[in-house]
Amino acid sequence: MARGTHRPTVAKVDLGAIKWNINQIRNHIRPGKKLLAVVKADGYGHGAVPIANAAKEAGVDGFCVAILDEAIELRQNGFTEDFLLVMGVTEVRDVALMADSNISVTVSSFEWLEAALPLLNLRKTMNPLRIHLAVDTGMGRIGLRTKEEVQAFEAFCEKYESLHLEGIFTHFATADGEDDIQVERQYETFKELVKSMTTRPDMVHLANSAMTLWHEDFETDATRVGIAMYGYNPSDLTIPLPYELKPAFTLETEISYVKQMHEGDTISYGARYKAYEGEWLATLPIGYADGWRRDLGNQTLLVDGHRCPVRGVVCMDQLMISLPHAYPIGTKVTLLGENNGEWNNPSEMAVELGTIGYEILCGISDRVPRIYNDSKGE
């Protein structure tokens, strides 16, 4: 993938905001509870390694990722000793590598564990496999579901020195919404499953950002925070934040072409938009190959504090906006973030598009270079 370093389309990531958000979250959770930074999917599009470095500076206790390669990326970039949990299902064949790399592994089935056991003989170190048992309390994704299964799993782990049951965790389906009944039900089920164990593992955890912000519990050992660390509301606009968070991501470009249209002149594929007489149009070097999806074509982008509607469909590499008057080539345009006091927040856009802010952030493609600054949270 060629990164676009010779065009002005960039994602600016404010590491100061990340650190500020971590401090905010830290100040609102129980003292002593571990704060784990979720940096999967390249740190929600912000860049996993720079985010992990900032998070470490702010004192997080470890990291969560979704796939093994993301864990290896951190290990190879200086995070050699840090707590590191892969939250998704991994391949049994990689079990020796995971033990040798001291990576904590989510296990969600007995079959996986049985198949992994003989392969652990291939490891080069004496490290036991650090296991976090996933239990499904209502998300319906991965995990054991009954006390009997959990007890059998625990008993199996106890028999082998190569297996260390370090943690047990679950994931909530509705913590970002208004369905508190489902949250309560999952919480109770989880407590029962943990209680059924002979020995409580060192790391019992259940909270993502939404649980951390709105349903803080006092009985678990760690919290796994993703979207809130990046400065966004996990519910988008449904529930107000209980405390301030600062968005860390700004997506900017510059006007690359400007012209004045005549009445009826058509814009973009399908010639669906027809200009009005004298309309000023700017072309921008960003399109759906950069993650600015075609259905973001009904959004307004920010120029000099003005909300400028996109005109015509978003092309693969370019799009057109309507200007209130002529602006010179090179004028800054903000797609996400702040411009002269106006804000484009992915959460607001997501609501209109029937998606979530996470998807807009993760969707900004690798063609867009990430540039880092540290505002010190100002």
Ligand X SMILES: Cc1ncc(COP(=O)(O)O)c(C=O)c1O
Distance CA 124, CA 135 (A): 30
Smallest distance from ligand X to CB 211, Å = 8
Smallest distance from ligand X to CB 228, Å = 6
Q: By rule CB under 6 A, what string of x and - marks binding of each residue 127-166 to ligand X?
A: ----------------------------------------
Footprint of ligand X on 165-184 (CB under 6 A): 171
- Among residues 201, 226, 247, 297, the one that binds ligand X under rule CB under 6 A: 226
- Using rule CB under 6 A, residue 225 touches ligand X: yes
Side-chain-facing half-sphere of 354: CA atoms under 13 Å:
1
Span interacting with ligand X, options 94-102, 122-130, 219-227, 291-299, rule CB under 6 A: 219-227
**Nearest CB to ligand X, comparing residues 217 and 254:** 217
Interaxial angle between packed helices 110-119 and 147-159, expressed in degrees from 0 to 180 and rounded to the nearest 10:
10
Distance CA 306, CA 28 (A): 37
Give the CA dihedral 37, 42, 44, 49, nearest 10 degrees.
50
**Nearest CB to ligand X, comparing residues 130 and 171:** 171
Give, in degrees to the nearest 5, the angle at Cα 291 between 290 and 297: 105
The answer to whether 107 and 89 are in contact (CB under 8 A) is: no
Smallest distance from ligand X to CB 85, Å = 9
316 in a known ligand binding site:
yes
Smallest distance from ligand X to CB 160, Å = 26
Smallest distance from ligand X to CB 255, Å = 34
Number of residues that bind ligand X (CB under 6 A): 12
145 in a known ligand binding site:
no
- Among residues 130, 132, 224, 367, the one that binds ligand X under rule CB under 6 A: 224
Q: Quick one: which H or E segment has residue 257? A: strand 257-260
- Among residues 209, 253, 268, 334, the one that binds ligand X under rule CB under 6 A: 209
Side-chain-facing half-sphere of 200: CA atoms under 13 Å:
12
User: Token digits for 125?
Assistant: 């170190």
Span interacting with ligand X, options 72-80, 115-123, 196-204, 226-234, rule CB under 6 A: 226-234
The answer to whether 218 and 28 are in contact (CB under 8 A) is: no
Give the DSSP per-residue string, 157-194.
HHH-TTEEEEEEE---SSTTSS-HHHHHHHHHHHHHHH
Side-chain-facing half-sphere of 109: CA atoms under 13 Å:
11
Q: By rule CB under 6 A, what string of x and - marks binding of each residue 63-92 to ligand X?
A: ------------------------x-----
- Using rule CB under 6 A, residue 45 touches ligand X: no
Coil, helix or strand for 377? coil
The answer to whether 48 and 39 are in contact (CB under 8 A) is: yes
Q: What is the set of active-site residues?
A: 40, 269
Footprint of ligand X on 227-256 (CB under 6 A): 227-228, 234
- Using rule CB under 6 A, residue 24 touches ligand X: no
In which region does residue 187 sit, left (phi positive, over 0), alpha (psi from -120 to 50) or beta (all else)?
alpha
Using CB positions, name the residue nearest to ligand X. Answer: 226
Residues making contact with ligand X (CB under 6 A): 38, 87, 171, 208-210, 224-228, 234
Which residues line the annotated binding site for substrate? 141, 316
